Structure 1
């Protein structure tokens, strides 16, 4: 009798795992980091440690970050997979484990921020965006018990120039066109939407 339950249990587990063949964001990153049409960068937390000028709250926020994985697909001659890559990433991010935090833009360019884990103890923050004339990119901010609100405040401070964290300037370069013609994209605030 126990043997029948064991065999039945194994069959059910096999069926469950066989049906769950959707690519994860981590798998997508690993599959494409060696592809020469993509730009990939891993930024360890140690890169943030020499961050003078941060207040105590900002330092505490940075200490929850372990590393950042960046993957960008710039639009240039000879790579015509932009639409396919965008559809694949959006399919991955449609999984219910990725919870939408904020999104802005529409049409030709868009940016979205997702997280995994609990609202007060985030394990992963994902920033995904595209500009159809320049390319797309996804950043995975990995850490322990991160607070998404605090991370967004810190990112806004860096964007405004209030905070200059040593080593983070290289991150923006990953998303630049290889010809260095790309200009920073300003997305109007009235297109911003906070997920509920």
Structure 2
């Protein structure tokens, strides 16, 4: 009986330690953001738009978004390193806390959108993607109690041009320049 209790405790401890050793997206980001091979950008929501142009609903929606973290690894010279990082990110996103929302792409190009939290109050939206000719990357939209329906309406406003996103155009150009280097 004593042996069974000891084995049970050992198994429980092993399970706890192995769960604690699983990499999180936050740890992956922190680990690689200072690596010169990666492009890392933290974007505050103030870069999105001039909030004076927003209506009340759009302001409330934007206030639930705190910032966006982008981490990308261009393919450049090392296809092997690209494959390793692509596999690492895919493995991290297998964790059950990351809920798949949407997936699209082909064999050489793919994008997946995940979220954490619950469907009515999302805490994080993750966009993971890769392109065998350009590289692999992940963007984390961090917020608090983000409403998916309101976020979609907000994104439609961006697409229609109702909201000035000049600040993001500079960031997009910078990322493209870094990838081309």
Runs of 5+ consecutive residues of structure 2 not aligned to the other structure? none
TM-score when normalising by structure 2: 0.82
Question: 1:102 aligns to what SS in structure 2?
Answer: strand
Inter-partner Cα distance in structure 1 for 2:14 and 2:61: 41
TM-score when normalising by structure 1: 0.77
Counterpart of 2:167 in structure 1 is 167
Kept after mapping to 2: 8 A contact 1:74/1:176: no
Counterpart of 2:16 in structure 1 is 17
Counterpart of 2:151 in structure 1 is 151
Runs of 5+ consecutive residues of structure 1 not aligned to the other structure? 182-196
Across the aligned residues of Structure 1 and Structure 2, the Cα RMSD in angstroms comes to 2.7
Counterpart of 1:29 in structure 2 is 29
Inter-partner Cα distance in structure 2 for 1:149 and 1:77: 41
* Pairs aligned (count): 176
- Mark the CA change 1:51 to 1:33 in structure 2 (over 3 Å): closer, same or farther: same
Inter-partner Cα distance in structure 1 for 2:8 and 2:179: 56
Counterpart of 1:61 in structure 2 is 61
Inter-partner Cα distance in structure 1 for 2:14 and 2:179: 49
TM alignment of 1:1-196, pairs within 5 A: 14-20=13-19, 21-48=21-48, 50-78=50-78, 80-159=80-159, 161-173=161-173, 175-176=175-176, 178=178, 180=180
Higher helix share: 2
- Mark the CA change 1:70 to 1:95 in structure 2 (over 3 Å): closer, same or farther: same
Inter-partner Cα distance in structure 1 for 2:41 and 2:66: 14
- Mark the CA change 1:53 to 1:76 in structure 2 (over 3 Å): closer, same or farther: same
Cα deviation code 1:74-125 (max 9, x no counterpart): 1112564111111110111111110011122121111111100010101111
- Mark the CA change 1:47 to 1:77 in structure 2 (over 3 Å): closer, same or farther: same
Cα deviation code 1:40-78 (max 9, x no counterpart): 011123334623433332222111011111101111125
